[in-house]
Chains A and B, each alone.
Chain A
């Protein structure tokens, strides 16, 4: 069974997990999301979800990625402006949530095709959850 303390070492960082608000959080500054996903696959963690938060004042977004490791919820946060690498090819379970976040916030997941999930064809992504929706709305 993978110990929590061994994960930072596998990722090549010094930070340690910190228990906060229902999850164990690790500061993964400098670790790309694809490296993180590969490590999670290697230790047998189960992908749970991604939660997107808009930071306001044009500061972009925070994406919180969650995996489950033997009942412990792991949390990793990434701040993004417009896009982030997709991990769909490494972790097929992210398919729907990446598509949903694209539709809700217009954050692009680079390296994968987009297919409509909750929206219908022709609706501009970002209209649902962004504070200032794109000018173009449903046609």
Chain B
């Protein structure tokens, strides 16, 4: 006999509200239905009622974790329509901020995953390390969550002392290598909860068009930073970790390896940081031409795409469309939980690092 178990919209295993209705037979999940919309704010409509400077502030609030990435993608979409391009130094600062954001997002996820595995000590360790990343972000931008770094034509704040930031990054990297990476890649506590759990096969991953670490953990070597480089990524050397198994362990490994690649990228970007301006001047003088423009960025959770439309000399966009990574990764949870044990479902859904604030907008 089958029965339905609802998880959410409010549940200790969920960071944000959404609902997963699971059809179970015994302790095994046979199928699942997802329900979202509990965080719906209609931000795309709000964007049409604000000027391009206000839209930047608005879009920063689509997500509390990857707030920098949203304004980066938005600004990169608006810049061609404004006829401006960020100076080289600004592009490097954008890389540094984006990779710091990836670090704090991945470490935050590692902490939450540890908590869901019943590994509370690791949760505390991860959050202590994440604080170090937040300190660096605050040192650069003055803020911990909404950084207000991006603007059309560059960034708002410079990195005055790259050596000091480099020192902080090196200390963080050492802690990652010493503590987080070994525990997540070798400890039996972590691996026993993750191996063979919540599998998304390569074929299902292709059909679902998943992105980011979820795609890379199912053997798809896709990363917008490599495939369609933006900012200064084309000038930097890094690898794209790929794992074939498609289970929670593979997602764990991909993110753990990406932490190391992010440290590598930050170090290179700080060392190569070119001199010069960080913006193209007074953005109040910016005039937009009629047209639409699209930009893609590799956020911590995967590809983000913004499509922006302006009409000649209008300051408010005619349209802003945001497609976030969780919007495409989330439907794949249905395939991941099929055949799983009910007790594993909180960890499985968390393994995609879902963001409902992004998804619902």
B partners with A: yes
Known interface pairs A51-B307, A118-B36. Does A21 touch B80 (Cβ–Cβ under 8 Å)? yes
How many residue pairs between the two chains, A and B, have CB atoms under 8 Å in the bound complex? 85
* Cβ 8 A contact of A46, one of B222, B228, B331: B222
Inter-subunit contact A23/B294 (CB<8 Å) = yes
Which candidate, B128-136, B261-269, B321-329, is the interface stretch facing chain A? B321-329
Known interface pairs A117-B37, A118-B36, A118-B40. Does A71 touch B293 (Cβ–Cβ under 8 Å)? no
Question: What 1/0 flags go to B119-158 for Cβ under 8 Å of A?
Answer: 0000000000000000000000000000000000000000
Known interface pairs A22-B293, A96-B331. Does A71 touch B224 (Cβ–Cβ under 8 Å)? yes
Shortest 10 CB-CB contacts between residues of A and residues of B: A71-B227, A93-B209, A22-B294, A49-B323, A118-B37, A21-B293, A51-B307, A51-B321, A71-B228, A47-B209
Minimum CB–CB distance for B352 against chain A, Å = 14
Q: Is B6 an interface residue (CB 8 A)?
A: no
Chain A, interface size category, equals 20 to 34
Q: Is A120 an interface residue (CB 8 A)?
A: yes
Known: A22-B295, A73-B228. 10 other contacts (CB 8 A): A49-B321, A51-B292, A66-B294, A68-B227, A70-B227, A73-B294, A104-B44, A117-B36, A119-B37, A119-B40
Q: Is B258 an interface residue (CB 8 A)?
A: no
* Cβ 8 A contact of B45, one of A21, A66, A128: A128
Q: Chain B residue with minimal CB distance to A44?
A: B206
Give CA–CA (A129, B222) in the complex, Å: 32
Inter-subunit contact A66/B209 (CB<8 Å) = no
Chain B, interface size category, equals 35 or more
* Cβ 8 A contact of A73, one of B45, B81, B296: B296
Inter-subunit contact B209/A48 (CB<8 Å) = yes
Q: Chain A residue with minimal CB distance to B319?
A: A53
Q: Chain A residue with minimal CB distance to B40?
A: A118
Minimum CB–CB distance for B28 against chain A, Å = 23
15 A-B contact pairs sorted by A residue (CB < 8 Å): A21-B293, A22-B295, A48-B303, A48-B323, A49-B305, A53-B309, A66-B294, A73-B294, A93-B331, A96-B327, A97-B323, A104-B44, A117-B36, A118-B40, A119-B37
Give CA–CA (A123, B339) in the complex, Å: 35
Q: Which residues of A contact B295 (CB under 8 A)?
A: 22
Q: Is A79 an interface residue (CB 8 A)?
A: no
A interface, CB within 8 angstroms of B: 21-23, 46-49, 51-54, 64, 66, 68, 70-73, 75, 91-93, 95-97, 104, 116-120, 128-129
Minimum CB–CB distance for B225 against chain A, Å = 10
Q: Is B31 an interface residue (CB 8 A)?
A: no
Give CA–CA (A18, B313) in the complex, Å: 25
Q: Is B360 an interface residue (CB 8 A)?
A: yes
Inter-subunit contact A92/B208 (CB<8 Å) = yes
Within 8 A of A (CB), among B295-310: 295-296, 303, 305, 307, 309
